[in-house]
Structure 1
Amino acid sequence: MKMEMNKVGRVLVVLLFMISAGACAKKAVPTQPGFGPGAGGTSGGYDTGRMGEGAGGGLDDARWRELGINSEAEKQEFLNKAESFENQDIYFDFDSYALSEPAKRILDAKVSFLKRYPKVHVTIEGHTDNRGTNEYNLALGERRANSALQYLKNSGMNAQDLNLVSYGEERPLAGGNDEASFAKNRRAHFVLSY
């Protein structure tokens, strides 16, 4: 009887370990409040609410001047360009982190924005479709984000202003299990902070 209780105890310990390991397998990556997908605003992660009602409601005048923005018209131009910046992802082929020519053109436009507003910081998020293991997809998402980061660095951007995070398959843009949905999820997304 004592031996059976010992076996049951061992099985319970193993089960508890497996359950706790499974619960730890997928951790949410913290983001700054108001940034990233699901933060509000448009689907690209741009949160118009964080800026308040009207242009620049969330930043004080000193911060706008630090960004090189001195008038209401410049604020509105910046906000429009920032929204466009965040809403334009780059996409990857299946199981690839190589940048396509269309992706490079999008990144070149992002470089122009970042050169115009050098005090802006960017987080590059790597995403994958849901095929493959969690570990593999997190690694692939990181390689995708890193490809974009390296391109921006090679274009003269300051590495201190660029961050990356991999979400793997955790934040799909499209929920289907078809090639069109998979293609939408194989992306790098860009989130600004300023």
Structure 2
Amino acid sequence: MKTNTIKMAAILLASTALVAGCGKKKVEQLPPAAEGTDYGQTQTDPNAGAGQIVPGSQEDFLQQVGQFGDRILFETDRFNVDAEDQATLQRQAQWLARYPNTRIIVEGHADERGTRDYNLALGERRANSAKNYLTSIGVDASRIETVSYGKERPSALGSDEQAWAQNRRAVTVTVQ
């Protein structure tokens, strides 16, 4: 009995020393952005002055369509494109017409309510609604991909109507 207690104490002491030696490491470099996108990246033209926005980039897109012109919002459990959404998507289509080689991804999102599977399906319907409208006004469907994130990537944190309203969305992201 005494030897078992001594063995357990030795194992506990050794494991404590091992864990104590494992501290947090300082992150020196962040992982790269998702391949093929310039989402969240500031791109500059190497031949231009520092800080200039590259034509056809995500920053150019946001500058031309407005601060929140990259997204359309939806009512609870809905995926229909209303008149306000149509105006936003028309601005996006006009920008895309100026850059015919730029492709986009339309991300579908949902608020935190509902199951994961339900929200993934709803996000897919929202992304497809935006894509369908863009193609109906002349954007080539081969330039548009869709993806659903469901409730996994909220825009606003919180469990109230204000946060939920911001999270029920379809967001357009340029792809290089």
The residue type paired with residue 142 of structure 1 is E
Note the 1:98-137 alignment, pairs <5 A.
98-137=80-119
Residue 170 of structure 1 is matched in structure 2 by: 152
Instruction: Find the aligned partners of 1:144 and 1:100 in 2 and give their Cα distance.
Output: 12
Q: What are the ranges of 5 or more consecutive residues in structure 1 without an aligned counterpart?
A: 1-30, 37-44, 62-70
The residue type paired with residue 133 of structure 1 is T
- Structure 1 runs of 4+ aligned residues shifted over 2 Å read 31-36, 74-81, 83-88
The TM-score normalised by the length of structure 1 is 0.64
Residue 34 of structure 2 is matched in structure 1 by: 32
Q: What are the ranges of 5 or more consecutive residues in structure 2 without an aligned counterpart?
A: 1-32
**Larger helix fraction of residues:** 1
Residue 46 of structure 1 is matched in structure 2 by: 40
Is the counterpart of residue 96 in structure 1 residue 78 in structure 2? yes
Residue 62 of structure 2 is matched in structure 1 by: 83
Instruction: Find the aligned partners of 1:145 and 1:56 in 2 and give their Cα distance.
Output: 31
Is the counterpart of residue 56 in structure 1 residue 45 in structure 2? yes
The TM-score normalised by the length of structure 2 is 0.70
Tell me the alpha carbon deviations over residues 17-48 of structure 1, each in whole angstroms, 9 at most, x when there is no partner: xxxxxxxxxxxxxx833737xxxxxxxx4311
Instruction: Find the aligned partners of 1:149 and 1:34 in 2 and give their Cα distance.
Output: 19
CA RMSD of aligned residues (A): 2.5
Instruction: Find the aligned partners of 2:55 and 2:130 in 1 and give their Cα distance.
Output: 25
Name the SS of the counterpart of 2:148 in structure 1. strand
Q: State the 1:193 CA deviation.
A: 1.3
Structure number, greater radius of gyration:
2
Instruction: Find the aligned partners of 1:152 and 1:140 in 2 and give their Cα distance.
Output: 19
Among all aligned residue pairs of Structure 1 and Structure 2, give the percentage whose two residues are the same amino acid. 37
Change (3 A) 1:56 1:97: same
Is the counterpart of residue 153 in structure 1 residue 155 in structure 2? no
Larger RCO (CA within 8 A; separation ≥ 6): 2
Name the SS of the counterpart of 2:87 in structure 1. helix
